[in-house]
Amino acid sequence: MRRPILVLLAAALVTGCQPPAEEPAPPPGAELPAPEMPADAPPQEEVEPGAAAGVPSPATDGSCRSQIGEAAAARLVERCVMVSPATHPPCNVANPCALIQGEIDRACALYGPGETRPAECSA
């Protein structure tokens, strides 16, 4: 009596392991219907063309160069390089200006009250 149940169970397991039937591909040149959002989907944000590929636009890339301009960023980086004792300081125009200024502030704070700070610390 147990044998038919085992056979049915095995058949059900084997059937459940089968890959789903594939839908036929549309013929070449056929127009695909536009995807539709479900009625309860949250609102979607508009995406700039370059942002979809992960490429930031020059105005929004967050670099010091885009924040204050090439010349001013270069001067800030030069000050950073002059005062930073770090082996790999963040003194680069591609970094945010706040990060570069933070490194200048950190390096200048290392000097004691009786020590002479570089001129770059007071600029």
Alpha-helical (H) ranges within 17-118 are: 64-68, 70-83, 97-109
Tokens representing residue 41 in the block: 């989907």
Neighbour count for residue 116 (Cβ, 10 Å) = 7
Q: pLDDT of the chain along its 123 residues, tens only? A: 556 676 666 666 666 666 666 767 777 777 777 777 777 877 766 655 555 555 555 556 899 999 999 999 999 999 999 999 998 999 999 999 999 999 999 999 999 989 999 999 987
Whether this prediction's pTM lies above 0.75 is answered by: no
DSSP state of 87: S
Q: What is the pLDDT of residue 19?
A: 67
Measured in Å, how far apart are the chain's first and last C-alpha atoms? Answer: 94
Q: What is the pLDDT of residue 67?
A: 94
